Chains A and B, each alone.
Chain A
């Protein structure tokens, strides 16, 4: 038996003009990424990553996504992320946060990343209600998809 190695790339989508939600689902994000891989690495690059490529998680509010790809095709994906300037019809860019070998490690990183963000943002909130809302929004992490 041959073990299939995957890589999980945690990315943050940073829109040019700050928006509440991205109106983007996992399928459309995967399609955009594959289109860009074909543009920059051609049919060969697309063929290398197409097997096993999937957007495992995307959060509209926190704008964080986890992309799964094969270990051998990881370079094709990570090298095009900084080159993307248009996601759908929105001007935005990708910030690569973390590349891990298991989705659990990726989750851990995202949770700690979000905690850091919360620490910074909580100070600016005035009421307890707002704080609770923010906490819920930021730490929302359902992986049911």
Chain B
């Protein structure tokens, strides 16, 4: 067992043109939500973005198994990304590394 869980997540924005979507901003957004909901003690975890596609607004990140529940809660409760209303859709969760199905040449691997 790797001890990690991989999440395939899609970001859906109301106004996609007015935001700058980068892995760092995205990570910050999720970590902010974690700290807000679970506080300084409960919300500290390492979040690694494995794959990121800005055209699809889709990304795969991994998180330790113990924090899966909390991260999923935090992701579901995010309502704004850079002050633009949004929501995150978790497409799949897996213990094995995930991959985007279509157009693999567009990925920016990290």
Binding site for B on A (CB under 8 A): 37-45, 79
Contact = CB atoms under 8 A, between A and B. Distances in A.
A45 B36 contact: no
Contacts of B35: 42
B38 interface: yes
Interface string B25-64: 0000000000111111111000000000000000000000
Interface of A is mostly: helix
Interface string B12-30: 0000000000000000000
Interface residues of B, number: 9
Contacts of B39: 37-42, 44-45
A113 B47 CA distance: 47
A82 B96 CA distance: 40
A79 B40 CA distance: 12
A41 B36 contact: no
Nearest to A38: B39
